[in-house]
Structure 1
Amino acid sequence: MIASEHPHALTPVLGPATQLGFVVRDLDEAVRHWIDVLGVGPFLFLENGTGRPAPQSIYRGQDVQIEMRLAFGFIGDVQLELIQQVNDAPSPYRTFLDEGREGLQHLGYWVPDHAAARNRIEADGYTPELVIPIAGQPDPIIYYSAPSVVGPMLEIVPRRWRHARAAVSDHLKAWSGGDPLIRFDTYGAFLDHVGVTFDD
């Protein structure tokens, strides 16, 4: 019997986690490990992440521009995000590495009701640390720190970003072999290429 069929199974308050976010020191090395050792791939590989210069975010009340390299893959329906920060801007990723850690850093959730999700986890002691405003969209992406050192950070992603997640999944499923790194310069360039829109 799988957990979801158990009559007394708990119900996650934010629904199923749809992304596992890993912070790494070397994206090339990390993605090769997933492909060559674990047999997971292909990956969408974004050399300049969200762009250069990066869009402005707010970390612990401070305006920051976090420059990254990114890769996205899937294990079943769960998205993997591999993040290498390439500048010294304060961020949850930099803090994670400075604490001597590397690996799983956050759980990502594409939530149907952004306000309800925020209210629920904030009432349970989670603290917003990184806010990523999205131009033309009402709700930001938010990273929350756990009230205990036991838990990873949570990332709350507005519902309309499900289109972007689906586009990455569809593009990787269409891979026909060859190089398992499907390269685009930035996430925006990929979204433009596949024609993603953010209508509800």
Structure 2
Amino acid sequence: MTGVLGYGQPMGGVAQTAFVVPDLREAVDRWIADMRAGPFFILDHFLVPGQTYRGEESRADITIAMGFAGHMLIELIQPLDSHPSVYQETIARRGYGFHHFGIACADVDAASRDYQARGYHEAFRAAVPTGGEVVYLDNGTGADWGFLELLPVTPGMDGTFTRFWEASRGWDGSDPVRSFL
């Protein structure tokens, strides 16, 4: 992988900004109308075997939408149940809104060890459909200030997010909600 992702963000830098929302479709509509972001790509019921929350098996189900505002990948996350999760932590602490920054990583496990040496711990881990696993990190202020998510830069991830970005370039507003896969 080169030092810059196909959609213009740097390796090791912020590649995504994420928000937890009560109603995904309403949030998508607002981002399109008010921020001119889009189109958005939706992945319904993201609950994968083996995902963990604070060291235990996680049963939290979410739906996500991703779209671009310029070169910034925006992720909208709607929890679909009340199972314990990093999303429910944020909602309980300060309500809906900003949730995390995603950091592009060539090696998520090595990056996680580096952050852990600086006082972070893994709050959530799950396999993703673009390859590899994401890891959410918390230094004790995640629910207050936002978590960090380590994003695995795989050919599938870079290709998928670059495809989303390319769809946003010169987008005319048609077909605003599309399938993630």
Which AA in structure 2 matches 1:72?
Answer: M
Which AA in structure 1 matches 2:90?
Answer: F
Q: Indicate the structure whose relative CO is greater, using CA pairs within 8 Å and at least 6 residues apart.
A: 2
Which AA in structure 2 matches 1:114?
Answer: V
Secondary structure of residue in 2 paired with 1:18: strand
1:86 pairs with 2:80: yes
1:63 pairs with 2:60: no
1:141 pairs with 2:137: no
1:142-157 alignment runs, 5 A limit: 142-148=135-141, 151-157=145-151
1:112-191 alignment runs, 5 A limit: 112-133=106-127, 139-148=132-141, 151-160=145-154, 161-173=157-169, 175-182=171-178, 184=179, 187=180, 190=181
Partners of 2:133 and 2:151 within 8 A in 1 = yes
Give the C-alpha shift of residue 126 in structure 1.
1.0
Give the number of aligned pairs. Answer: 167
* Distance in 2 (alpha carbons) for counterparts of 1:147 and 1:88: 22
Match of 2:21 in 1: 24
Q: Which has the higher strand share?
A: 2
- Structure 1 stretches of at least 4 aligned residues deviating more than 6 Å after TM superposition: none
* Distance in 1 (alpha carbons) for counterparts of 2:165 and 2:37: 13
* Distance in 1 (alpha carbons) for counterparts of 2:151 and 2:106: 9
* Distance in 2 (alpha carbons) for counterparts of 1:73 and 1:30: 12
* Distance in 2 (alpha carbons) for counterparts of 1:115 and 1:154: 14
Match of 1:72 in 2: 66
Match of 2:31 in 1: 34
The structure whose Rg is larger is 1
Runs of 5+ unmatched residues, structure 2: 1-10
Q: TM-score, normalised by structure 1?
A: 0.73
* Distance in 2 (alpha carbons) for counterparts of 1:95 and 1:148: 11
Q: TM-score, normalised by structure 2?
A: 0.79
Give the superposed CA RMSD.
2.5
Secondary structure of residue in 1 paired with 2:28: helix
Question: Kindly, what percent of the aligned residue pairs are identical?
Answer: 28
